[in-house]
Amino acid sequence: MDKPIMAKATAVWLVDNTTISFRQIADFCGLHELEVQGIADGDVAQGVKGFDPITNNQLTQDEIDAAEKSPTHKLKLKYNAAAVGEEKRRGPRYTPLSKRQDRPNSILWLVKFHPELTDAQIAKLVGTTKPTIQSIRERTHWNIQQMEPIDPVALGLCKQTELDAAVQKAASKKAKEGDAMSDEDRRKLLSTEQSLGMDAEPKMPTAIEGLETFTLSGDDEEDKKEEPVDAESFFNLPDNDDEDDDDDR
């Protein structure tokens, strides 16, 4: 762990209690130099209580003194044996309470439009569990009838770059396995920029076109010639003899 905990609160304390330059504080806390300047001006981190890095075992007083004497000195986080390997710990993505109810809809969207993604990839993207994903795949989820597929990027559950990276990884894995992919599958495995840059796929005509130019040859053409139409055949006209009989009556 190369950055202090509660970085912004630590920066507030360093600004208020030391003469260390903004650049040094920014490099140590993982902030932008202008953000540290905003803290000093009172425009940023208003109401944030300073977090003492000395009493919290993150810096030593000697390190702060060295930084105050030399503007080029870079602050070094105090070695903490208990923090070794801390950055390697992994866990499910944290999802805010306001967005947790949207996770099933995003899972349904990923299962529907990106079936090549594994359960582990989906769980990492939206911060869910494999049993939940499996129940949605098998449509046994308790609320499956009320769910609608919604893009997790639109819901703010993941970034577009993260989704594209997961899809590209799935594409590489599928290509190595040698599975045959249709054009539609290839389009799904592309990133958003690549998919938008592709030419439109040709579609099958919805009606038979061009048959008016088709001509028959030989005997078939003669058979298809139009025969003369008898105009009287369209009307049920009575015979002349029948009209005379009616007059006699």
**DSSP letters spanning 137-162:** HTT--TTGGG-----HHHHTSS-HHH
Q: Residue 185: its pLDDT value, please?
A: 56
184 within domain boundaries? yes
Q: Which of 117, 123, 118, 114 is nearest to 95 (CA)?
A: 123
Per-residue model confidence as pLDDT tens digits over 110-151: 999 998 899 999 999 998 899 999 999 999 999 999 999 999
- On whether both 148 and 71 belong to a single domain, the answer is no
Least confident window among 100-114, 165-179, 204-218, 230-244: 204-218
118, 133: one domain: yes
213, part of any domain: no
Q: Higher model confidence: residue 28 or residue 91?
A: 28
Q: Which residues neighbour 181 within 8 Å (Cβ) at sequence distance 6 or greater?
A: 174, 189
Residues 29 and 109 in one domain: no
Per the structure, the complete domain to which residue 66 belongs is given by: 7-86
Looking at the 3D structure of the chain, how many domains does it have? 2
Model pTM?
A: 0.41
Q: Return d(Cα 169, Cα 159) in angstroms, integer.
A: 16
Does residue 21 sit in the same domain as residue 104? no
Q: For residue 114, tell me if it sits in a domain.
A: yes
**Residue range 21-28: mean pLDDT, rounded:** 91
